[in-house]
Structure 1
């Protein structure tokens, strides 16, 4: 179906991410469910747990900013829509890093090799969490534009 004139910006939207089944419970909040999964993992280090805290805090602050400021700001539909989907993009990236971390536990190999893989995957997860939190904060604290 062709896009109506003036709505071409819909082509700029990121590819839609369907919520994976394992993130649909126990709550209706995608980010909270991901955080619950990660915090339930007993082998994550405190550095990753701290990054998880930063991520969920940035998500909450972004959501409050969006509903308090963006929706009533008189911004155009294109900009509001892009800002609305931005947090999901960040969550998707964190989820991908989380799944890579989880998969290390399913691998077979020598203990020291698996330990090194787990350490690398945990560092990658912490980086993904920190990047997501920084991106959310940057958009919220800046001019509301995604760079």
Structure 2
């Protein structure tokens, strides 16, 4: 049985495309692993302070976890931090909004659900006097094995 020239060329081109795609997937996986290893050894808290006028006390906001820029393969993650007691905290994700109150010591935590891909999370703290401070985190959720 003789194979036509066009079929042989199509099979060869298909093999080349398959090898290129597999190489790209492998390269992306190793780049993600390298980035995760570089950014995860020591967690650093994100801290913002805002002073409204000279007589107002500073309004601290520290995010203890997760680390900004982290790549994760779990769809839910615990966001925790600390701020001034007696304030109100809003957490805005890609799909949800949370309003929480910190403990008497100012600590807070909330489980948030991530969407596949890039996630921008904004955490805002409001005082009864009207002061506000906010920070943003960027996280990536992937279904790939890390």
Using the size of structure 1 for normalisation, the TM-score is 0.25
Higher strand share: 2
Q: Greater Rg, structure 1 or structure 2?
A: 2
Higher relative contact order (CA 8 A, sep 6+): 1
Using the size of structure 2 for normalisation, the TM-score is 0.25
Higher helix share: 1
